[in-house]
C-alpha cells in the first residue's frame, strides 16, 4: 500500500518506478498487491525504497503501526 501511495504522491506510473529502480514492472505490481511487507530479496525492496526516497518520499510509521508516506 505504501508503494502505491508514494507513487501517487509523486505522480509516477508503476512503469516509471520500475525503470528508475531497475526492477521489473511485475515486481512493482506484485508488491503493490500485498498487505504489509512483501516477501522478496531485501535488495529489491531496498531499491524501490531508495528510489522513492530520492524522489522526495518519506516513509512513516512501521508496517505494523500506522504505515504511511509523505512528501519531504
In CATH, 2-71 is 2.70.150.10: no
Instruction: Enter the pTM of the model.
Output: 0.86
What pLDDT is attached to residue 65?
84
What is the structure's pLDDT at 64? 76
CB 21 within 8 A of CB 51: yes
Would you kindly state where each structural domain of the chain is located, as residue ranges? Answer: 2-71
C-alpha cell at 5: 501511495
- Residuewise pLDDT in 10s, the chain (72 residues): 799 999 999 999 999 999 999 999 999 999 998 877 777 777 899 999 999 999 999 999 877 788 889 998
Amino acid at each position: 500500500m505504501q508503494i502505491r501511495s508514494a507513487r501517487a504522491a509523486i505522480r509516477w506510473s508503476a512503469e516509471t518506478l520500475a525503470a528508475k529502480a531497475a526492477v521489473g514492472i511485475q515486481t512493482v505490481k506484485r508488491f503493490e498487491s500485498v498487505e504489509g511487507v512483501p516477501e522478496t530479496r531485501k535488495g529489491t525492496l531496498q531499491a524501490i525504497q531508495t528510489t522513492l526516497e530520492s524522489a522526495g518520499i518519506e516513509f512513516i510509521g512501521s508496517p505494523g503501526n500506522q504505515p504511511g508516506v509523505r512528501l519531504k
